[in-house]
Amino acid sequence: MLLRKQTSYNQTFSAKMEFNPTQRGYEAGVVLWWSNYSYATIGVVGAPDESDSKREVVVRSPGGTSQIVPAMTFPVPLTVERVEFKIHATPTSYELSISANDKAMPLTVLAKDLTVAPPVGGAFTGVMFGVYSFGRGEPVLDPADFTDIVTKEHES
């Protein structure tokens, strides 16, 4: 995981990614990070079965009580090689999205649900944007190539 601090209430983080996982559970995407106990992700994961789609979109959102809501997955068409991610920040919410083939899938996270106190210690870093790749306890041997990573301020 590689993180960058959010520096303004009205900010957009975007990135493009090429990722073709060959193993079930290999995952890569973008993250909205508050702490180990509160974060949101949207990414691409190797599908858990032998269906026609070997990749799925996976989303996780904070539960508002230092618990992450279990991951939800959605099939991705096999023709998609490159996806685009965006995190759009406002003073009260964040919208994470993944776009492919001119279709976007959004996930809205309220700032009050993200910025909860952790059960142990404190969250002293503020919110961060980032990219990640992991393999469920093993190294990911398929590259997740991130390009055009941009953070910019926008009007409210």
Dihedral sign for Cα atoms in the order 28, 96, 32, 146: positive
CA end-to-end span of the chain: 29
Contact 129, 150 (CB under 8 A): no
Tokens of 137: 């306890």
pLDDT by residue, tens only, the chain of 156 residues: 999 999 999 999 999 999 999 888 899 999 999 998 899 999 999 887 665 568 889 999 998 776 778 888 887 765 677 999 999 999 999 999 999 888 899 999 999 999 988 888 887 788 999 999 999 888 899 999 999 999 999 987
What residues have CB less than 8 Å from 150, skipping those under 6 apart?
12, 13, 14, 15
pLDDT score at 36:
87
Q: How far apart are CA 64 and CA 96, in angstroms?
A: 17
As a CATH number, domain 2-137+145-153 is 2.60.120.200
pTM (2 d.p.): 0.91
Q: What is the pLDDT of residue 69?
A: 81
